[in-house]
A and B are shown apart, each in its own frame.
Chain A
Amino acid sequence: MPPLLFYLFALITLGFGLNVVLARNPVTSALSLAVSFVGLAALFISLEAYFIGTLQVLVYAGAVMVLFLFIIMLMDIKAEAVSARTNIAAIAAGVVIAAILAVQIATVSSQLSISSKSTEQAALSLEKAGAQWEARGKENIPTISRDLKAGTLPDAKLMGETLFSKYAFHLQVVGLLLLVGTVGVVALSKRDSKEAAQP
């Protein structure tokens, strides 16, 4: 990926992220967050995580942001009045703590030995991986080794292989969590019959 594109998408992600924090109108915040997530998805794709990038667009920029906008418009929230008493202590604390954290992360990550590797230095070798997969004999999944030999990264297939072989139990736990979440949402948003009877 050309460095220019990285900087462009990083700028989109961070610029619209800043707008989320600064905007007075919640609808502006939500739409900025959607754009920021699309920029983040582009960064994922630049890291050759195509499946995660797609998921980011579908789940975050699609489903989650629609849910946010739906709730904002359902509650009909007005933009904060400019004259609303500003909480200077909170704003100062937010800026200072966040700045300290950012500096800390930058210093630590610049001292890691792995982090000075560039994408070219950490190049993927699909040929070698394909040979490795073929050498696995019975556990070889032909469609994956065929793709690797052809020189394409079968990202979604490898993700699926990891999730369903190594993390099959975890996947079921997460499925259960989604079920519990769904039931919880229904229970939370259900009005009591007594309450509903009142005008």
Chain B
Amino acid sequence: MITLNHYLVVSGILFALGLAGVIARRNILIIYMCLEMMLSAGNLALVGFSRFHVTDGLPDYTAQALVFFTITVAAAEVAVGLAIIVALFRTKQSVEVEAVTKLQG
């Protein structure tokens, strides 16, 4: 029997994996992929709550509309972020986060 708790735990573990990747990895591209993973984990929790909050015999579509907007914003974010990464690669010839230390003084 699958309960909402199962989905929330999967979502939480996926978010934690993404967070671990963002903190521990040095390659900007992989950090970016882990960010996408965290967004998706949030989406999974939202869809889970939507399905288990039954209103008038239907899932709560407000949550799914929010997921729709999240996916759209994430797609826009990926496009802009990758353009920034390409610009960074052009100036530094590297995608390691250690290459960007100008603000460290």
Interface residues of A (CB under 8 A from B): 1, 3, 6, 10, 13-14, 17-18, 20-21, 26, 29-30, 33, 36-37, 40, 43-44, 46-49, 51-52, 55-56, 59-60, 63-64, 67-68, 71-72, 74-75, 77, 80, 87, 90-91, 93-95, 97-99, 101-102, 105-106, 109-110, 112, 114-120, 122-129, 132, 153, 158-159, 161-163, 166-167, 170, 174, 177-178, 180-182, 184-185, 188-189
Interface residues of B in 1-52 (CB under 8 A from A): 1-27, 29-30, 32-34, 36-37, 40, 43-44, 47-52
Give the 9 A-B CB pairs with smallest separation, nearest first. Answer: A105-B12, A94-B24, A125-B57, A94-B23, A98-B20, A181-B76, A129-B57, A109-B8, A21-B21
Q: Which residues of A contact B72 (CB under 8 A)?
A: 174, 177-178
**B23 pairs with A1, CB closer than 8 A:** no
Q: Which residues of A contact B5 (CB under 8 A)?
A: 109-110, 112, 115-116
**A75 pairs with B7, CB closer than 8 A:** no
**A20 pairs with B34, CB closer than 8 A:** yes
Number of interface residues of B (CB under 8 A): 74
**A128 pairs with B57, CB closer than 8 A:** yes
Q: Which residues of A contact B20 (CB under 8 A)?
A: 21, 94-95, 97-98
Q: Decide yes or no: A105 and B27 within 8 Å by CB, A64-B74, A97-B20 being known contacts.
A: no
29 A-B residue contacts at CB 8 Å? A17-B17, A20-B37, A21-B20, A29-B29, A43-B10, A47-B50, A52-B64, A56-B71, A67-B79, A74-B86, A87-B26, A90-B23, A90-B24, A91-B24, A98-B16, A101-B12, A112-B8, A115-B5, A115-B8, A116-B3, A122-B51, A122-B52, A124-B57, A125-B57, A126-B58, A132-B57, A163-B68, A170-B65, A188-B86
